[in-house]
Amino acid sequence: MNKWKKILIFLMLPIGAYAQDLSLVQYVKPIIGTAKMGHTFPGATVPFGSVQLSPDTDTIPYAVDGKYNGEVYKYCAGYQYADPTIVGFSHTHFSGTGHSDLGDFLIMPTTGDVQMNPGTSDQPENGYRSAYSHDNEVAEPNYYRVKLDDHQILAELTTSARVGFHQYTFPKSSNGHIILDLMAGIYNYDDKNVWTVVRVVNDSLVTGYRQTNGWGRTRTVYFAMSFSKPFKEYGTQNNDPVQVYKGFWRKFNQEKNFPDLAGKKLRMHFDFSTEEGEKVKIKFAISPVSMQNALANMQAEIPHWDFDRVKHHGQQLWEKELQKIVVDVPTNEDRINFYTAMYHAALMPTMYMDNNGQYKGLDQEVHQADGFTNYTSFSLWDTFRAFHPYLNLVNPKRNADMVASMMAHYQQSVLHMLPIWSHYANDNWCMSGYHSVSVIADAIIKGVYKGDALAALEACIQTANARNYDGIGAYIDKGYVPADISGTAVSNTLEYAYDDWCIAQLAKKLGRMDVYQDFIKRSSNWKNVYDPSVGFMRPRMTDGTFKRDFDVLKTDGQGFIEGNAWNFSLYVPHDPEGMMVNMGGKKRLSRYLDSLFSMHLPDEFFAHTEDITRDGIIGNYVHGNEPSHHVAYLYNITGEPWKAQQKIRMILKHQYHNGADGLGGNDDCGQMSAWFIFSSLGFYPVAPASDEYWLGSPAVRNAKLQFDNGNTLIVKAINQSDKNVFVKKVTLNGEEVKSYKLKHADLMNGGELIFYMSEKK
């Protein structure tokens, strides 16, 4: 223990008044991933917080004249590091997605004449937005600061779970403003704002809500906005077309100091006179249920105006999250990569309920979360792989609550389905598979979820038998999704087969052997889309023939999603040995893997593939997209673990670094980060629901994992260095690990996992 104390003391560099409490927080750089395709946000939030208060650097429309605007893809998290201006600070952001929504309730402090339009990045002076410099920008966990050059205002942001806390330091001005732009949003399009209501309750409190029809189809967020100082005046810009109906509203002047507003496209300004250096603070609470709940959230979470206290409290929460794994790594850059990965793996899913436990369910009714914390925004196609297993290891209570949230979603689903991509009170149905079942099976098999396991199994079965969903009916009837009825027929088939295996494992665990038999049979359906004549998984038609025109490098139109045939043909995580046999044995698989990691792709490939750049791939191995996340580990079954070790260390080194462009692809709601964490520790959950990890090559020197069961696991890499990537031997509590697998239960017992590293394979 003394040794650990020493490391901790060593780590304790002062950051602010509360430094002694925040030894690990300082290594988190939220700016990582904010350039290019990381799609992370730099703003303030607490772990899994409902509010993500962060700058938005542009407001690109989703579509122009009804056509998708490719530019918008950059703005999934609202912020792009290269942009020269900040439009404002909004309260909700996804982290690392490849599609988006949110950006609710954009606030911008300004000085000078009131400007009610955002302006453009090349002429920020024509709108309320402002130029800024990264020199004047600080991003820490739960703290963001930037100087807004156009307005000479210092903006500082922090949060509690459901409240964004803004602190704006003004110059002396008789013409200061807070803009509240209720039109702004991420992935906006003309009809996205369905309805907005605003009530100016008094000269320092505003409440309201906005309903949007975006990626989440029917999504309403309520708010309460409190000012530290009364505003002098306020005004409104209503951009709705004038309705013939609205005659009687002409009895009021609705543009100035009119407190009862509603419409589709509203903007507001609140006016102040300020002294030099005067701080105007705003508490902005949100709720999925009601304005009064938003106000109650504010009163419960931040009953005062002490910005530093809120900031510190949130940073303490982060410290507690980060302390779950204390690592000793060779360089400061490694340390920043590791803790930023832990940070990114604690942003989503987000808490989705009020302080009183209420939330709006998938059925659009108000529900009470009874005995669990309700979460939303499950990007399950990404996160079932490593993110949820990561939570099962060091954050089981949260994952248990996430499973409970999925079960609540299921109970509210008129389709009787578990979430695909739960999104506030919606499912946006993004990506393929029904991977809730993987998360649920893994959590129950590992003893994490303590709820009604038979009910959970039933939910899994119902979901897997939702015949109307994305080819499931045909999949059940024919054993594969035919390519003539689905554009992602092959990836669907492969993912369904894996999910079915998860259900089988869960059923076995629960003694439901009837269910096990059904689903273990279904789990071999991957074989039905393997074409031995070409050695790849290949789209197959209803009549049983394989699709004629077939390009093993392309993704679109080839029956896959986010992964071409080269990558997806390896996606049989539950039966890799079977897959290897099918492919012709160890040597064939070994050659296949070697080719994958080394082949040279034509430039044309990059032009037509979303979310992939040359930086983000190694040969044709695409680390930025998830289907290959287990692939490097497959060398374990070709008898060449040293190749796995080498590749994993290479990926750790080259796909993650400290820059704003430090992520090779979308972080995907923590999945990319969870891969980094597992792989840095030397093991990875190749097939969640198996209770097994596969061995890789640790990048840490030491790691201490503090489990919720009270046990501690020490991971040591003896003779660790950048060159010594090869693992000669592994012992767990003194016993040599003979296979390439570790049991989850064995790790949870704590003790010492020692890797003996070597320069030689």
Residues that bind a second copy (CB under 8 A): 62-63, 66-68, 187, 189, 191-192, 194-195, 197, 199-201, 209, 211, 213-215, 217-218, 241, 243-245, 248-249, 251-253, 257-260, 262, 290-292, 363-366, 413-415, 428-430, 468-470
Q: How far apart are CA 688 and CA 699, in angstroms?
A: 22
Residue with smaller CB distance to a second copy, 103 or 688? 103
Instruction: Count CB-CB contacts under 10 A for residue 605.
Output: 17
Residue with smaller CB distance to a second copy, 169 or 188? 188
Nearest-5° angle of CA 430, CA 433, CA 436?
90
Token representation of residue 161:
């779970």
Q: Are the CB atoms for 595 and 587 separated by under 8 Å?
A: no
- Give the shortest CB-228-to-a second copy separation in angstroms: 21
- Give the shortest CB-533-to-a second copy separation in angstroms: 30
Instruction: Count CB-CB contacts under 10 A for residue 323.
Output: 15
Residue with smaller CB distance to a second copy, 274 or 293? 293
- Give the shortest CB-93-to-a second copy separation in angstroms: 18
Residue with smaller CB distance to a second copy, 409 or 704? 409
- Give the shortest CB-210-to-a second copy separation in angstroms: 12
Residue with smaller CB distance to a second copy, 85 or 193? 193
Nearest C-alpha neighbor of 401 from the set 628, 708, 690, 126 = 708
Instruction: Count CB-CB contacts under 10 A for residue 721.
Output: 12
Phi and psi at residue 368, to the nearest 5°: -110, 120
- Give the shortest CB-207-to-a second copy separation in angstroms: 8
How many helices (H) and strands (E) the chain has is answered by 19, 39
Nearest C-alpha neighbor of 515 from the set 527, 501, 525, 528 = 501
Residue the block writes with tokens 């998984």:
537
Q: Are the CB atoms for 381 and 439 separated by under 8 Å?
A: no
Residue with smaller CB distance to a second copy, 383 or 590? 383
Residue with smaller CB distance to a second copy, 114 or 366? 366
Would you call 685 exposed, middle or buried from its count of C-beta atoms within 10 A (0-12, 13-18, 19+)?
buried
- Give the shortest CB-218-to-a second copy separation in angstroms: 5
Q: Are the CB atoms for 499 and 438 separated by under 8 Å?
A: yes
Q: Are the CB atoms for 156 and 240 separated by under 8 Å?
A: no
Q: Helix (H, G, I), strand (E, B), or coil: what is residue 400? A: helix
> Measured in whole angstroms, how far is the alpha carbon of residue 480 from the centre of its chain?
30
Residue with smaller CB distance to a second copy, 25 or 425? 425
Which residues, other chains included, contact 627 with Cβ-Cβ below 8 Å and sequence gap of 6+?
Answer: 491, 562, 563, 567, 568, 570, 571
Residue with smaller CB distance to a second copy, 188 or 720? 188
- Give the shortest CB-227-to-a second copy separation in angstroms: 16
Residue with smaller CB distance to a second copy, 399 or 428? 428
- Give the shortest CB-440-to-a second copy separation in angstroms: 21
Residue with smaller CB distance to a second copy, 253 or 749? 253
- The continuous run of DSSP H or E covering 683 comes out as strand 683-684
Q: How far apart are CA 703 and CA 334, in angstroms?
A: 13
The residues facing 106 across adjacent strands are 181
Residue with smaller CB distance to a second copy, 292 or 524? 292
Residue the block writes with tokens 């975006």:
214
Residue with smaller CB distance to a second copy, 99 or 151? 99
Q: How far apart are CA 197 and CA 222, in angstroms?
A: 9
Residue with smaller CB distance to a second copy, 10 or 249? 249
Phi and psi at residue 374, to the nearest 5°: -85, 135
Q: Helix (H, G, I), strand (E, B), or coil: what is residue 236? A: strand
Residue with smaller CB distance to a second copy, 183 or 291? 291
| Angle of helix 576-583 versus helix 586-598 axis, rounded to 10 | 90
- Give the shortest CB-302-to-a second copy separation in angstroms: 22
- Give the shortest CB-290-to-a second copy separation in angstroms: 6
- Give the shortest CB-223-to-a second copy separation in angstroms: 12
Say if strands 137-140 and 530-531 run parallel, antiparallel, or are unpaired: unpaired
Q: How far apart are CA 698 and CA 708, in angstroms?
A: 23
- Give the shortest CB-718-to-a second copy separation in angstroms: 49
Q: How far apart are CA 667 and CA 342, in angstroms?
A: 12
Instruction: Count CB-CB contacts under 10 A for residue 493.
Output: 32
Plot region of 441 (φ>0 → left; ψ -120 to 50 → alpha; else → beta): alpha
- Give the shortest CB-220-to-a second copy separation in angstroms: 10
Nearest C-alpha neighbor of 563 from the set 629, 503, 512 = 629
Residue with smaller CB distance to a second copy, 117 or 542? 542
Q: Are the CB atoms for 480 and 540 separated by under 8 Å?
A: yes
Check residue 241 and report its DSSP letter: P
Residue with smaller CB distance to a second copy, 331 or 364? 364
Q: Helix (H, G, I), strand (E, B), or coil: what is residue 749? A: coil
Residue with smaller CB distance to a second copy, 216 or 314? 216
- Give the shortest CB-242-to-a second copy separation in angstroms: 8
Radius of gyration of the chain measured on its C-alpha atoms:
26
- Give the shortest CB-361-to-a second copy separation in angstroms: 10
- Give the shortest CB-209-to-a second copy separation in angstroms: 7
Q: Helix (H, G, I), strand (E, B), or coil: what is residue 27? A: helix
- Could you write out the DSSP letters of every residue in 312-361? HHHHHHHHHHHTTEEEE-SSHHHHHHHHHHHHHTTS-SEE-S-TTSEEE-
- Give the shortest CB-703-to-a second copy separation in angstroms: 39
Say if strands 366-368 and 421-423 run parallel, antiparallel, or are unpaired: unpaired
